[in-house]
Amino acid sequence: MNVLLCNPKEKSMFGDDIDLPDGIGGSSGHPNMGLAALSSYLKQKGFQVQCYDHQIENSLLKLNEIIKNFKPDLIGLTSFSYSYIHAIDLVDAIKSFTDVPVVIGGPHVSATKGEVFENSKVDFAIKGEGEHTFEEFLNEIQKPEPNFAGIQGLFWRNNNGEIVENCSRPFIYDLDPFPYPDFDAFPMEKYACYQSRSLPIISSRGCPYACTFCSVILTQGRNFRKRSPEDFVDEMEYWHKRGWERFEIDDDCYSCDMKRAIKISEEIIKRGLKIKYDIYNGIRVDRVSPELLQSLRDSGCSLVSFGLESANLKILRNIKKSIKSLDQVTDAVKWAKDAGLKTSVNFIIGHQGETMETARESLEFARSLEADFVNFYNLVPYPGTETYEWVKKNARMLVPEEDYLRHISYRDNEPIFETDEFTASERRQVIKEGFQLYEQKVLKFRLGKVLGYLAYFPLRIAPLGKWLKKAMNQQGIVRRSFILLSQKSRS
């Protein structure tokens, strides 16, 4: 059975989408990890798989040619909420080419569930982790009279055209047997990671914390499921032998089990692996120690990024961040710097109870930190989260609810909602200052203090900045530089 897996476009990390001519690909750091993992798993089970990344290829003509030549029996897509509009567009294009069934999965489906059928022409949808559900679904759909009722994690239409949501599938706890992501299924030379020889890698799934704004719990559950240190370092060693020198650890909570994190460092050192890696996600200020941070540095780690979200303790309680004191933040940054690590700290503006005063507390605290750079994000109330329910009850939507995920990103300076305590104009002002602080610091961090300082000002001139961003997306080395600057800021 032939399966075509497709990744839709994503929104620009610097805000608005940048329109590119057909066939001119956009910027992307690396292949979609979910599709790469699913591809390797399905191939292991005997299915024929091909992958298409519309973010990179940006060619519906090429997609149509792939469909004609590969002749897939099923086409699968993934989608984040912030890029859902592009997933819908891609489904429409596929349906204009072929009548092959289309199934969609990813975080947005897990958050909105059957709503995906109302806004697109998809035939099936998968929630939660996809490997086992997809395999079972593929085996069933091949039958002359398939029965989808017993497939956990599947959405489907019955004979009456009604949408049926099957029960959720239990989370997978034994992660070691899974094959490594199928990066060979993607045109790796077209991604920024190819030039930097850096690959994303994941050592665990899930997060046991309950932050109200985070949608991870919807797809990965409120748990911590971990690979053994030996299996994780086996994968590092495998890719290193193939010429990959750096890694980006993309766990949701890498340091949740601090002893395990130290064991991973010790395993890297024991094997004598000469690698470098960064942790741009998954490090909490209350789950670090000088010993852990030093072990990270000794084993090749260059940078860690801490999630703070707000510098106001009341806001931190509102969002269930479980950070008790700002001293935990300053201590974590200091310990990291003492160990020789670069640091970044992440903030989100607009949480429950936010005011202009509390938002400015975050700005001032960010300026005072000795971190190498800081990230600021515009709060997006993702469906299914506590924040989403709070916004519906306590705020005024500024964008139609059915449209906001189509047009708004956490890197846009356009508030999705406002409250009496924190108006839209106030939000725009704070977000603007936060984005400026981020861009100034990250340019200095990536390019050096002098060159970064000089590069910062052209981006402040709106017409020139817009032209530069478009040019960066279309030109070789310059484009890759833009990718390098932008891709490392996700939290």
What's the mean pLDDT in 173-196? 95
pLDDT tens digits, residue range 215-228? Answer: 888 888 889 999 99
Q: Residue 285 above 90 pLDDT? A: yes
CATH 3.80.30.20 residue window(s) in the chain = 197-487
Q: What is the pLDDT of residue 83?
A: 77
Greater confidence, 295 or 483?
295
Q: What is the pLDDT of residue 311?
A: 97
Report whether 74 contacts 142 (CB < 8 A): no
Q: Does domain 2-165 have CATH number 3.60.150.10?
A: no
Greater confidence, 23 or 399?
399
- Superfamily of domain 197-487 in CATH is tm_1862 like domain (3.80.30.20)
Q: What is the pLDDT of residue 238?
A: 98
Q: Residue 288 above 80 pLDDT? A: yes
What is the DSSP-derived secondary structure letter of residue 225? E
CATH 3.40.50.280 residue window(s) in the chain = 2-165
pLDDT tens digits, residue range 38-61? Answer: 999 999 999 999 999 999 999 999
How far is Cα 196 from Cα 473, in angstroms, rounded to an integer? Answer: 17
Greater confidence, 450 or 386?
386
What's the mean pLDDT in 77-97? 89
Q: What is the pLDDT of residue 448?
A: 65
How far is Cα 135 from Cα 368, in angstroms, rounded to an integer? Answer: 51
Q: Confidence class of residue 481 from pLDDT cuts 50, 70 and 90?
A: very low
Report whether 437 contacts 346 (CB < 8 A): no
| Cβ burial 14-41 (10 Å sphere, 16+ → b, else e) | bbebbeeeeeebbbbbbbbbbbbbbbbb
Q: Confidence class of residue 12 from pLDDT cuts 50, 70 and 90?
A: low
pLDDT tens digits, residue range 134-159? Answer: 999 999 999 999 999 999 999 999 98
Q: What is the pLDDT of residue 16?
A: 43
Q: Residue 375 above 80 pLDDT? A: yes
Sign of the dihedral through C-alpha 368, 371, 373, 376: negative
Q: What is the pLDDT of residue 33?
A: 94
Report whether 206 contacts 216 (CB < 8 A): yes
* Start-end of H helices in 354-461: 356-368, 386-394, 404-407, 424-447, 449-460
How far is Cα 27 from Cα 458, in angstroms, rounded to an integer? Answer: 20
Q: Confidence class of residue 461 from pLDDT cuts 50, 70 and 90?
A: low
What's the mean pLDDT in 251-277? 96
What's the mean pLDDT in 340-362? 96
Mean pLDDT of the chain: 87
How far is Cα 419 from Cα 401, in angstroms, rounded to an integer? Answer: 16
Greater confidence, 125 or 20?
125
Q: What is the pLDDT of residue 474?
A: 45
Q: Confidence class of residue 462 from pLDDT cuts 50, 70 and 90?
A: low
Share of the chain above pLDDT 90, in %: 69
Nearest to 378 by CA among 387, 369, 370: 387
